[in-house]
């Protein structure tokens, strides 16, 4: 199977699981909504009943915003002008690549969301691997069955990414880049050097990501229990199918960049409060939904590619989970036959 075919089939499988897409979107929404509500309270408290609120509701009020920032703490420190429109995307991508430290609250919610996603990843991959409906009990059964394995994989991944961001990133961008660019007097040259740094770091990051992706797929599809074994198997798979896995990864990455570019073109400014605001928010949520879709497409297409290369389509080693009877039914079933009649 080629990467392109896997990508197409991945699309088909994600399309066939709209509840998974919607569910993951809902999970992200429910994780973020309480924080958004807390921030809403901070904004409201600072605005009070002032007329500054009117300007802030009608458009932007940068003067007020600067006042807010001067007194903000905790979550409030993340409420900066660059969250508006497409700036939000640039802010996050740039912050990710430049390893910008996160505010404690944001780091906490990110960690919680990653753990939650790790829990759900087993069910998602299982669903895509089977290419058929697994129903809620099958989905969550798979989540539970694979969770500890995926969590162990997550710990290894955390160590690997920690090494990459903590040491390799620091070495490239805190040591090598400043050292190499120290005497550069032309900004374009310095930027080219920076891009070279991103390419080197990005390549390592993608390699690591590829191996861990296929380790995740193998844990679910082959019902592997050992995270380390899955990583080794994932690595072998990537090495033996370098072209296919690489090509597929690039296709997925291109889809992501296309979405980002599209949002960059469409992302509107800050509207007035009212219908326009809800439309803009709706567009933002549509973009977030699309990001979920593409994230799931990564899972689905890589699962398809793995299945196509090592097994057969829709192959999963783990038997379909049989949901146990209720405790009451089991009690009745296990009861000694009563005497008489």
Partner 1 sequence: MFARSAAVATLLILGGATLPAARQPPAAQPAASPPAGTPALSPRNASYAITARLDPKSRTLTGDEILTWRNTSTISATTLRFHLYYNAWRNTNSTWMRERWLAGDTPLTSRPESDWSWIDVTTVRVIGAGAGGDLTGAVRFVAPDDGNKEDRTVMEVPLERPVAPGGTLNVQIAWALRVPRTFARTGTIGNFYFMAQWFPKIGVLEDGGWNCHQFHSATEFFSDFGTYDVRLTVPKGWMLGATGVERDRRDEADGTTTHHYYQEDVHDFAWTTSPDYVERHASFEHPNLPPVDMRLLLQPEHAGQAERHFEATRAALKYYGEWFGPYPYGHITIVDPAWQSEAGGMEYPTLFTAGTRWLAPRDVTTPEGVTVHEAGHQFWYGIVATNEFEHGWMDEGFNTFSTARAIENVQRYSPNYYAKRYFGGFIPWTFRDFPLSRETDGDRLASYRLAAKADTQSTPTWRYWPGTASAVTYAKAALWLHTLERMLGWETMQRIMSTYFARWAFGHPKPQDFFAIVNEVSGRDMTWFFDQVSRSSNVFDYGVDAFSSEPAAVRGYVGDGNARTFAGAPDGGGPFRTTVVVRRYGEGLFPVDVRVVFENKEEARWRWDGRDRWRMFEIEKPVRASFVQVDPDHVLLLDVNYTNNSVTLAPRTKQAATKWSLAWLVWLQDHLLTYGFFV
Kindly identify the residues of this chain, within the stretch 210-249, that bind partner 1 according to CB under 8 A.
none
Chain positions 103 to 122 lying near partner 1, rule: CB under 8 A, are 106, 109-110, 113-114, 117-118, 121
Choose, by CB under 8 A, the member of 40, 132, 135, 240 that binds partner 1: 40
Tokens, residue 248: 């597929």
- Exactly one of 136, 155, 184, 254 binds partner 1 (CB under 8 A); which one? 184
Place of tokens 């599809």: 221
Angle between helices 275-310 and 187-221 (to 10 degrees): 60
Q: 3-class DSSP state for residue 255?
A: helix
Kindly state whether residue 312 participates in binding partner 1, applying the rule CB under 8 A. Answer: no
Tell me the site size for partner 1, rule CB under 8 A: 95
Applying CB under 8 A, does 174 fall inside the site for partner 1? no
151 lies in the binding site for partner 1 (CB under 8 A): no
In order of 3, 16, 153, 254, 300, the CA distances from 159 in angstroms are: 29, 35, 10, 27, 25
For the CB of residue 146, give the shortest distance to partner 1 in the complex, in Å: 13
Report the Cα 201 to chain-centroid distance in Å.
19
Other residues' Cβ atoms within 10 Å of the Cβ of residue 231: 22
Phi, psi of 261 (to 5 degrees): -65, -40
Ramachandran angles phi, psi of 249, nearest 5°: -60, -40
Q: Does 186 bind partner 1 (CB under 8 A)?
A: yes
Q: Which stretch binds partner 1 (CB under 8 A): 12-20, 96-104, 135-143, 302-310?
A: 96-104
Q: Which of 270, 309, 311, 315 binds partner 1 (CB under 8 A)?
A: 270
Is the distance from CB of 326 to CB of 31 less than 8 angstroms? no
52-71 residues near partner 1, rule: CB under 8 A = 52-54, 56-64, 66-70
Range in contact with partner 1 (rule: CB under 8 A) among 224-232, 278-286, 301-309, 311-319: 278-286
Asked if residues 316 and 126 have their Cβ atoms less than 8 Å apart, the reply is yes
Closest to partner 1 by CB, 83 or 313? 83
| Dist. CA 233–CA 213, nearest whole Å | 11
Cβ proximity to partner 1, 173 vs 315, nearer residue: 173
Residue 125 to residues 48, 67, 148, 175, 318, Cα–Cα distance (Å): 48, 47, 15, 39, 12
| Least Cβ distance, residue 50 to partner 1 (angstroms) | 5
Task: Pick the closer one to partner 1 by CB: 232 or 283.
Answer: 283
Report the nearest approach of partner 1 to the CB of residue 238 (Å): 17
**Residue 315, interface with partner 1 (CB under 8 A)?**
no
Q: Which is nearer to partner 1, 5 or 106 (CB)?
A: 106
């Amino acid at each position: 199977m080629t990467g392109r075919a896997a990508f197409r089939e991945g699309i088909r499988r994600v399309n066939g699981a709209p509840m998974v897409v919607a569910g993951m979107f809902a999970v992200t929404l429910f994780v973020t909504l309480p924080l958004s509500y807390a921030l809403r309270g901070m904004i409201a408290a600072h605005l009070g009943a002032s007329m500054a609120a009117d300007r802030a509701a009608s458009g932007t009020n940068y003067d007020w915003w600067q006042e807010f920032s001067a007194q903000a703490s905790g979550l409030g420190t993340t409420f900066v002008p660059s969250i508006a429109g497409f700036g939000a995307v640039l802010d996050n991508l740039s912050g990710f690549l430049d390893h910008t430290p996160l505010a404690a609250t944001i780091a906490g919610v990110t960690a919680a969301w990653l753990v939650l996603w790790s829990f759900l990843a087993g069910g998602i991959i299982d669903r895509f691997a089977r290419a058929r409906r697994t129903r809620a009990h099958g989905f969550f059964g798979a989540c539970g069955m694979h969770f500890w394995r995926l969590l162990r994989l997550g710990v290894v991944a955390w160590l690997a990414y920690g090494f990459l961001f903590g040491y390799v990133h620091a070495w490239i961008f805190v040591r090598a880049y400043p050292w190499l660019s120290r005497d550069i007097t032309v900004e374009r040259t310095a930027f080219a050097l920076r891009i070279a740094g991103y390419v080197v770091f990005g390549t390592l990051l993608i390699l690591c990501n590829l191996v861990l992706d296929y380790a995740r797929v193998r844990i679910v599809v082959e019902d592997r229990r050992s995270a380390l074994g899955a990583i080794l198997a994932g690595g072998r798979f990537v090495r033996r199918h370098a072209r296919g896995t690489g090509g597929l990864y690039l296709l997925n990455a291109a889809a992501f960049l296309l979405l980002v570019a599209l949002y960059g073109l469409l992302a509107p400014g800050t509207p007035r409060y009212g219908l326009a605001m809800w439309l803009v928010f709706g567009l933002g949520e549509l973009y977030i939904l699309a990001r979920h879709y593409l994230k799931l497409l990564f899972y689905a297409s890589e699962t398809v590619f793995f299945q196509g290369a090592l097994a057969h389509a829709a192959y999963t080693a783990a038997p379909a989970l049989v949901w146990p009877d209720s405790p009451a039914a089991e009690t009745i079933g296990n009861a000694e036959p009563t005497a008489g009649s």
